[in-house]
Amino acid sequence: MIVSMCNLSSSLGSLNSFRLKVQKALLQSDVQSKSDKSPVTVADYGSQAVVSFILQRELPSESFSLVAEEDSGDLRKDGAQETLARITELVNDTLTSDGTCISRVSEEDVLTAIDSGKSEGGSNGQHWVLDPIDGTKGFLRGDQYAIALALLDEGKVVLGVLACPNLPLASIGGQDQHSLHNQIGCLFSAKIGEGTDMQPLDGSSPIKVHVSAIENPEEASFFESFEAAHSKHDLSSSIAKKLGVKAPPVRIDSQAKYGALSRGDGAIYLRFPHKGYREKIWDHAAGCIVVTEAGGEVSDAAGNPLDFSKGRYLDLETGIIVTNKKLMPSLLKAVRECLDEKPSSL
């Protein structure tokens, strides 16, 4: 399967206009709750439909497999007609404005496009992995979120694109060029063996980015999920204390954390979900390759690389840790010691 990284980045970046339309006119009725009580918006559904349409346009002669977060079940229920009509209108506006589609798509076309994401993935063949709006709560607050797309080849992530519309071009640590402070919206792209690029969502030229070179944990800063429900903040705090990290945690939503870490804004990302939670591959696939191609490492708490070949879920040892190669040994040691001291956190 051959696809242009430039075309993918351009297509994913075009969703920025889609999200702006949605955010400016977002209504309470546009927000629903899924079975796990997490929110889903017209933006989640519409973004998934748009990416599906674009990928199938780019890959007309290939077998198409998409592993994505949303499905059309709730949109097919009684009472969802108004929401579906609104999504279809937004999808058509986006596809026609960027020239993706000349004729308008129907509501059934949109439902079918959303349901194209029902693939189970796995270790055979190639599968696209999509989180249409990663960090929906951040999206609703006007904070950080990401549109994350990756390609699996025989179970390995081989490319990823991460659009972060609300992430400043300047370091969120505040140590970048002053001229960048008012510029917002980044797109990270990575292809195996070719490094990681970052470019503004306005289409300006990309630049190569690299993870932090910090070796002393006391000088490191770390990211964690904004929502305490998504990760155990107390465990992360214990690990940071054991390492000697002095800076307070930077808490932001979504895979924007991976993007920020890939360009050196921080040195560590810790994620320890509560017991019973199963990590989904669309929450980490794009971010993982963006960081690793920028020179970083991503593993579970036992030091094992993340395995995306098992289907829609990741089988992990406790949690996910992300850092540079120099800090990883001491970070793994601190994680193991804290887990041993706090067995209730497992």
Q: Is residue 93 annotated as involved in ligand binding?
A: no
CA 130 from centroid of its chain's CA atoms: 8
CATH number of the domain within which 240 lies: 3.40.190.80
Q: Is residue 69 annotated as involved in ligand binding?
A: yes
Q: Tell me, yes or no, whether 180 and 243 share the same domain.
A: no
Domain boundary among 160, 192, 209: 209
Cβ contacts of 279 within 8 Å, gap of 6 or more = 273, 313, 314, 316, 320
Respond yes or no: is residue 196 known to be catalytic. Answer: no
Q: Is residue 134 annotated as involved in ligand binding?
A: yes
Q: Tell me, yes or no, whether 132 and 175 share the same domain.
A: yes
CATH number of the domain within which 167 lies: 3.30.540.10
State the pLDDT at residue 125: 94
pTM over 0.85: yes
Q: Rounded distance, CA 160 to CA 115, Å?
A: 21
Q: Tell me, yes or no, whether 192 and 310 share the same domain.
A: no
Of the candidates 30, 41, 44, 253, the residue annotated as catalytic is 44
Q: Tell me, yes or no, whether 202 and 291 share the same domain.
A: no
Q: Rounded distance, CA 76 to CA 115, Å?
A: 11
Respond yes or no: is residue 323 known to be catalytic. Answer: no
Of the candidates 83, 88, 94, 136, the residue annotated as catalytic is 136
Q: Rounded distance, CA 261 to CA 324, Å?
A: 9
Q: Tell me, yes or no, whether 320 and 336 share the same domain.
A: yes
Do 188 and 196 meet the contact criterion of CB atoms below 8 Å apart? yes
Domain boundary among 159, 191, 209: 209
Q: Tell me, yes or no, whether 227 and 299 share the same domain.
A: yes
Give 3-8 contacts, CB < 8 A, sequence gap 24+.
3/58, 3/59, 3/151, 4/58, 5/159, 5/161, 5/189, 5/191, 7/58, 8/58, 8/149, 8/159, 8/161, 8/189
State the pLDDT at residue 196: 98
Q: Tell me, yes or no, whether 287 and 182 share the same domain.
A: no
State the pLDDT at residue 230: 59
The pair of structure tokens assigned to 244 is 């000697």
pLDDT per residue of the chain (346 residues) written in tens, 0 to 9: 445 565 566 556 555 555 555 544 444 445 555 555 455 788 899 999 999 998 888 886 678 899 999 999 999 999 999 999 999 998 998 888 766 666 899 999 999 999 999 999 999 999 999 999 998 888 888 889 999 999 999 999 999 999 999 999 999 865 444 445 578 999 999 999 999 999 998 888 999 999 999 999 999 998 988 765 556 888 999 999 999 998 888 889 899 999 999 999 999 999 998 888 899 999 999 999 999 999 999 999 999 999 999 999 998 878 999 999 999 999 999 999 999 986 654 4
Q: Tell me, yes or no, whether 54 and 75 share the same domain.
A: yes
Q: Tell me, yes or no, whether 287 and 161 share the same domain.
A: no
Domain boundary among 183, 209, 235: 209
Total domain count for the chain?
2
Q: Rounded distance, CA 301 to CA 290, Å?
A: 20
Q: Tell me, yes or no, whether 87 and 193 share the same domain.
A: yes
Structural domain boundaries enclosing 18: 5-209
Q: Tell me, yes or no, whether 135 and 205 share the same domain.
A: yes
- Tokens 């694109």 sit on residue: 161
Q: Tell me, yes or no, whether 200 and 266 share the same domain.
A: no
Give 154-157 contacts, CB < 8 A, sequence gap 24+.
154/123, 154/124, 154/125, 154/126, 154/309, 155/122, 155/123, 155/124, 155/307, 155/308, 155/309, 155/310, 156/192, 156/308, 156/309, 157/129, 157/192, 157/285, 157/286, 157/288, 157/289, 157/308
Task: Please give the single-letter amino acid code of residue 318.
Answer: T
Q: Rounded distance, CA 264 to CA 214, Å?
A: 9
